[in-house]
């Protein structure tokens, strides 16, 4: 890692590590080395390439093989500590939010769920390719008319027949839905009304997916509107361990915590870019980093990032102990993404007019901050989950 404390002369300041309190120092020596290698790989090989894909609103398929070679298709099967996995997700977000979203959903909600709740046949069929990004799955829960109220309002149906399960319904905002090999679909069993999970290959008759156009952020990740019209799947495509919504709550809770790591990681990236700009950009005959109106927001960004990393490190400890509950994950997600939104605005402002273009990365990160502030439960919904926990009174009904 570069030295933590800068030398006196502004022009010769080494690039400081944004983890100023050394959260990563809590890792084992082996995991520290591995994290450093991933950081270097992402910053030297991936970060220089992602901007053009973001500008074109295009998926970066050619970046998946190098991500796989780094083991990023199988993070949830790696046996590493929760802190290490969280910091890897933070480093991915520091590099690019869209790719971190793809990798996070892939691991947390697809690989993790099939490994934990899938049948032996489902694991044998899908996990080897998923681990190498040779196969991609998507997680189809949200619907056009049901986002925050999806647990009670889900309307996609699954009907068991002699020929298999028949799936009917629509899904929205499904990441990777335009190119995935299969979707883990959540549908309500028409007998009994339980919400169950099914693996639906996307080349089956009756499946349609269209790209959601015009997104302000998360532009590399391709989100889809999906419809399922009398789609017949084999009985064996039902995920045996997901026969009710309660069976997947742990995954949704962990996924919410993962977005907390995204909030922290995005702020590391914002600090990197804002500081780099402040040191290199000269006005009035001196670097703008010499001015108080630049130093103060840089410190605030670093403070927000450090508070977020520290919160997420404690969440990782709780998660390691098997004690993660939804209010903890909701508080972490709401807090780090709120701070990321503030940090993104501060960073973009430091760059002035140049902060309005994607060349310096700050406008891109500001737009992407809006995405993580909104998905996996909006800030407001997560706040109300925590509010219910601390008051004993629900604001939802």
Answer yes or no: are the C-beta atoms of 225 and 210 closer than 8 Å: yes
Torsions phi, psi of 164, nearest 5? 140, -165
For 114, the token pair is 């099939």
- CATH top class, domain 7-119+128-132: mainly alpha
What six digits make up the tokens of 294? 């630049």
CA–chain centroid gap for 69, Å, is 20
Q: Which CATH superfamily is domain 247-391 in?
A: Butyryl-CoA Dehydrogenase, subunit A, domain 3 (1.20.140.10)
Q: Which CATH class is domain 137-244?
A: mainly beta
The whole-number pLDDT of residue 64 equals 97
In this structure, what are the phi and psi dihedrals at residue 351, rounded to the nearest 5 degrees?
-85, 0
CA-atom Rg of the chain in angstroms: 22
Q: Tell me the residue length of the chain.
A: 397
Q: In sequence order, what are the residues at sequence separation of 6 or more whose Cβ sits closer than 8 angstroms to the Cβ of residue 215?
A: 57, 223, 371
What pLDDT does 8 receive? 41
DSSP conformational letter for 213:
P
φ/ψ (deg, to 5) at 55: -60, -35
Q: Are strands 137-140 and 182-189 parallel, antiparallel or unpaired?
A: parallel
Within 8 A by CB and 6+ apart from 239, the residues are: 113, 114, 117, 118, 119, 122, 184, 196, 197, 198, 199
Name the E strands within the chain: 137-140, 157-161, 164-175, 182-189, 195-201, 207-211, 223-233, 282-283, 286-287
Nearest residue to 223 via CA among 262, 183, 256: 183
H or E element: which one contains 92? helix 82-95
Structure-token pair, residue 141: 């829960």
Domains of the chain: which residue ranges?
7-119+128-132, 137-244, 247-391
Q: Tell me the two tokens of residue 50.
A: 């992602």
What is the pLDDT at residue 12?
A: 46
Is the sign of the CA dihedral 249, 182, 46, 214 positive or negative? negative
Angle between the N-to-C axes of helices 326-350 and 362-374, in degrees from 0 to 180, rounded to the nearest 10: 160
Q: What pLDDT, on the 0 to 100 scale, is given for residue 249?
A: 84
The answer to whether the beta carbons of residues 94 and 265 sit under 8 Å apart is yes
- Each residue's pLDDT tens digit in the chain (397 positions)? 443 333 344 444 444 678 988 899 999 999 999 999 999 999 999 999 999 999 999 999 999 999 999 999 999 999 999 999 999 999 999 999 999 999 999 999 999 999 999 999 999 999 999 999 999 999 999 999 887 777 778 999 999 999 999 999 999 999 999 999 999 999 999 999 999 999 999 999 999 999 999 999 999 999 999 999 999 999 999 999 998 888 888 888 999 999 999 999 999 999 999 999 898 888 898 988 889 999 999 999 999 999 999 999 999 999 999 999 999 999 999 999 999 999 999 999 999 888 898 888 899 999 999 999 999 889 999 999 999 999 999 998 7
Q: What angle do CA 37, 58, 366 make, to 5 degrees?
A: 70
């Amino acid at each position: 890692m570069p030295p933590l404390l800068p030398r006196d002369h502004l022009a010769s300041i080494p690039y400081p590590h944004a983890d100023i309190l050394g959260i990563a120092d809590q890792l084992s020596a082996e995991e520290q080395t591995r994290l450093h290698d991933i950081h270097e790989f992402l910053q030297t090989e991936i970060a220089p390439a992602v901007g053009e894909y973001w500008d074109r609103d295009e998926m970066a398929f050619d970046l998946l093989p190098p991500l796989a070679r780094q083991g990023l298709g199988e993070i949830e099967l790696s046996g590493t500590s929760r802190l290490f996995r969280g910091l890897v997700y933070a480093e991915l977000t520091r590099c690019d939010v869209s790719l971190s979203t793809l990798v996070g959903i892939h691991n947390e909600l697809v690989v993790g769920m099939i490994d934990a709740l899938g049948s032996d046949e489902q694991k044998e069929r899908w996990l080897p390719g998923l681990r190498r990004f040779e196969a991609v799955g998507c997680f189809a829960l949200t619907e056009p008319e049901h986002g925050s109220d999806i647990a009670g309002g889900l309307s996609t149906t699954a009907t068991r027949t002699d020929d298999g399960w028949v799936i009917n319904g629509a899904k929205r905002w499904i990441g990777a839905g335009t190119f995935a090999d299969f979707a883990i679909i959540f549908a309500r069993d028409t007998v009994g009304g339980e919400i169950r999970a099914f693996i639906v290959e996307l080349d089956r008759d009756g499946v349609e997916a269209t790209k959601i156009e015009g997104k302000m952020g998360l532009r590399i990740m391709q989100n889809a509107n999906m419809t399922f019209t009398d789609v017949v799947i084999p009985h064996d495509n039902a995920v045996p361990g997901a026969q009710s919504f309660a069976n997947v709550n742990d995954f949704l809770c962990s996924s919410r915590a993962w977005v907390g790591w995204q909030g922290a990681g995005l702020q590391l990236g914002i600090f990197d870019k804002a500081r780099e700009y402040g040191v290199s950009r000269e006005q009035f005959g001196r670097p703008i980093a010499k001015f108080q109106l630049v130093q103060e927001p840089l410190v605030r960004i670093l403070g927000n990032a450090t508070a977020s990393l520290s919160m997420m490190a404690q969440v990782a400890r709780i998660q390691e102990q098997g004690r993660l509950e939804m209010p903890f994950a909701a508080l972490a997600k709401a807090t780090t993404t709120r701070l990321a939104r503030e940090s993104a605005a501060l960073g973009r402002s430091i760059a002035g007019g140049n902060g309005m273009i994607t060349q310096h990365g700050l406008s891109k990160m500001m737009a992407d901050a809006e995405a993580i502030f909104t998905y996996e439960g909006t800030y407001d919904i997560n706040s109300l989950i925590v509010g219910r926990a601390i008051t004993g009174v629900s604001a939802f009904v």
